[in-house]
Amino acid sequence: AQLPPEAQGQEEMMRKLFTTHLAVSSKTTLEFKEDNSFVSIRYEGNSQVETTGKITLDEEKKEIRMKGDSDEEFTYQLTDNLLKLSADSDGEKIELAFRRK
């Protein structure tokens, strides 16, 4: 019911196209440099998008922050029982946490 009228009855084909699109667009490569900077390469459709920025490490909090030149900010926090990934971009905050039992 959510598909446009021209795609009705073609759910399997649409599912395969969507899965393929997600597999290509969700790949990101990070290159960390010795001067505490990084380059992130991701794909949007057929085009490659590069983001550069700086990395800061807070050993006490066990946290890595990556702030892109375009004001995107990513935080990775790893403790004995928690892996928390968060992103803040264009006023939208996303957080994903994995806890060990």
Give yes or no for residue 11 having a pLDDT over 70.
yes
Q: What is the Cα–Cα distance from 54 to 1, expressed in whole angstroms?
A: 45
Give yes or no for residue 30 having a pLDDT over 90.
no
Q: Which residues lie below 8 Å from residue 48, measured CB to CB, with a gap of 6+?
A: 41, 42
User: Residue 21: what pLDDT?
Assistant: 65
Q: What is the Cα–Cα distance from 9 to 17, expressed in whole angstroms?
A: 14
**Kindly report the CA angle at 93 between 65 and 97, in degrees rounded to 5?**
70
6-20, 58-72, 73-87: range with lowest mean pLDDT: 6-20
SS3 58: strand
Look at 44 and 83; give whichever has higher pLDDT: 83
CA-based Rg of the chain, rounded to a whole angstrom? 18
* pTM, full prediction: 0.58
Considering only CA atoms, which of 99, 92, 93 is closest in space to residue 77? 99
